[in-house]
Structure 1
Amino acid sequence: MKFIIFFLGISTFCFSQKLSFIYETKYKLNSENPDEVNSDKMILDLKDNISIFRDSVEKQADSSKLNNGKEIFKMGVENQFYVKKNLSQKRVEKVITYLRTDYLLPIEEILDWKITSEQKMIGKYQSQKAETNYGGRNWIAWFTTELPFSDGPYIFNGLPGLIVSIQDSNNDYSFNLIEVKKGGNLFDARTKTIKIDWTKYEALAKSYFNDPFNLNSRGWKTVTFTDPTGKTVDISVKNKEFQNNILQDNNPIELNHKVIYK
């Protein structure tokens, strides 16, 4: 392992200031159509070793929620990327929002980084290669000590500098830094959570699969809806459509926690 001086470039950034790192995130969910690539802008807000990683829409939703505005109603359980980190306490947690309830899922898998001597320029940053395993995938990361923060996109952290690029070896998921903003806005609108583990996560996912519109808990037996053409359709048809989509989107980032639906 080749060690790098952590404090290189520390004069450029102050640890106590708020920063936002914007990542272009690309991911493939549908194994039957591997050419279908989803792309989102996701934001890592960081201050004093506390960070939140979420997509730009969720950050707007959090802001709205704190100001008593309109909330986003999440349908499904899988493929959510919202992550909170406390780097000083080495605590990493996913937040899964489902039916207006926020569930806190601790990430206890340890990242065992192997830092190599390979270096290259990524954008304007001199970066160094590192590799690790997480979620049943092999990951290749590039970090820079010019941004002296031991953090990165999603759950990834623990390197002697910010991760500017990381992707799995199958190229199913990738996170690439595209912008750095000083004076970022770090706020947490999801503090009232229910703690779960991966077993409970799977139960939630299967509950959604079996009853996407949460009709059973409401005591509704039959429901119809009207499509854009004015045609009335039984809800069971819509349920089947949702279930087919879930079965097709069978390439989660945590492959070792892939839900098997029956």
Structure 2
Amino acid sequence: MKLIIFFLGISTFCFSQKFSFIYETKYKLNSENPDDVNSDNMILDLKNNVSIFRDSLDRRNDSIKLNGGIGRYTMGVENQFYVKKNLAQKRIEKVITYLAKDYLLPIEEILDWKISSEQKMIGKYKSQKAETTYGGRNWIAWFTTELPFGDGPYIFNGLPGLIVSIHDSSNDYSFNLIEVKKGDNIFDARTKTIKIDWKKYEALAKSYFNDPFNLNSRGWKTATFTDANGTTVAISVKNKELQNYILQENNPIELNHKINYK
């Protein structure tokens, strides 16, 4: 009985504290080029079953905004990893920032975890295997009850401990825990949002693809820019470059919502 009370005391203490979990994130936006791998450290800030997952630059950008500064300007809508979770209410929301506006995209896909008996050490944590499907991909995760938080990177959650490693079966996306820190306040600079669904998300993405520099809304017919060499180039040339880039880097984490650009 004393052991149970002691464990509950530890668990209660852990859940009342603020933690930051840093994940090394690797992803391939061009699935046909295995050597084209993006890498970033992304951070899961967690307190009392509420969390925000974002890349390190987004986290820094939020801090700047809350202190009266001007945040980073995001051009496109794809390949953004900003996710808010309320685990108690089972609410997961993805925030898309585009043209200085924040759009809230609810994630309603249910994670049906299959927990395996297979175990192994990942770093210093005894971890257990689990699998699920999300976004048209099969995912293999490893979680540890030594960190008693039912959360994880990106939208992933709902296991009996923190997810320390997860990747899809094609190895296009992976998240691996590399550091645990006592967290600061979970600051949220993206509270004024416009709610959208996946259909609206696709419309925003196609709007960016057709007019990357938002010239139409400004009433501009033509424009030029000067490159690093001082050469003046028509904006239509730059538009074409960006469109080709979008077409080549079209391997979203939600593969079932991959956009067919035309």
TM-score normalised according to structure 2 size? 0.96
Post-superposition offset of 1:30: 1.1
Question: How far, CA to CA, are the matches of 2:141 and 2:241 in structure 1?
Answer: 37
**Alpha-carbon separation, structure 1, partners of 2:199 and 2:250:** 18
CA deviation profile, 1:50-102 (whole Å, cap 9, x unmatched): 00000000000000000011210000110100000000000000000000000
CA distance in structure 2 between the partners assigned to 1:53 and 1:218 by the alignment: 34
SS at match of 1:11: helix
**Equivalent residue, structure 2, for 1:108:** 108
Structure 1 partner of 2:143: 143
For 1:217, the equivalent position in structure 2 comes to: 217
Unaligned regions of 5+ residues in structure 2, if any? none
How many residues of Structure 1 are paired with residues of Structure 2 in the alignment? 257
For each residue in 1:100-144, what CA deviation from the matched residue of structure 2 results, as whole angstroms up to 9, or x when unmatched? 000000000000000000000000000000000000000000000
8 Å Cα contact 1:131/1:138 also seen in 2: yes
Cα deviation, residue 32, structure 1: 3.5
Structure 1 residue runs of 5 or longer lacking an equivalent are none
Residue identity opposite 2:234 in structure 1 = D
Cα deviation, residue 14, structure 1: 1.7
Please tell me whether residue 19 in structure 1 is matched to residue 29 in structure 2: no
* 2-structure distance, mates of 1:183, 1:231: 47
CA–CA distance in structure 1, aligned partners of residues 81 and 183 of structure 2:
23
- 2:237 counterpart residue number: 237
Give the distance between the partners of 1:177 and 1:10, measured in 2 at CA.
25
Q: Which residue of 2 aligns with 1:154?
A: 154
| Aligned partners of 2:140 and 2:168 also within 8 Å | yes
Matched, 1:125 2:150: no
**Partner Cα distance (1:132, 1:86) in 2:** 20
Asked whether the equivalents of residues 92 and 155 of structure 1 are also in contact (C-alpha less than 8 Å), the reply is yes
Deviation sequence 1:31-59 (CA, Å, 0-9, x none)? 33221100000000000100000000000
Measure how far apart 1:16 and its partner are: 1.0
- Superposition RMSD in Å: 1.5
Q: Is the 8 A contact 1:10 1:148 kept in 2?
A: no
Write the distance in 2 (CA, Å) between the matches of 1:26 and 1:118.
24
Counterparts of 2:178 and 2:17, CA distance in 1: 20
Moved more, 180-189 or 225-234: 180-189
Q: Which amino acid aligns with 1:219?
A: G
Cα deviation code 1:149-195 (max 9, x no counterpart):
00000000000000000000000000000000013331110000000
CA contact (8 A) 1:8 1:145 kept: no
Determine helix, strand or coil for the equivalent of 2:16: coil
Give the secondary structure class of the aligned counterpart of 1:78. Answer: coil
Going from structure 1 to structure 2, the CA distance change for 1:210 and 1:131 (only over 3 Å counts) comes to same
**Identity of matched residues, %:** 82
Partner of 1:174: 174
Q: 1:17-56 alignment to 2 at 5 Å?
A: 17-56=17-56
Paired residue type of 2:48: D
Do the aligned residues in 2 keep the contact of 1:93 with 1:105 (CA within 8 Å)?
A: yes
Contact 1:166 1:176 in 2 (8 A): yes
CA change 1:227–1:9 in 2 (3 A) is: farther
Does 1 or 2 have the higher relative contact order (CA < 8 Å, sep 6+)?
1
Query: Which stretches of structure 1, 4 residues or more, deviate above 6 A after TM superposition?
Result: 7-10
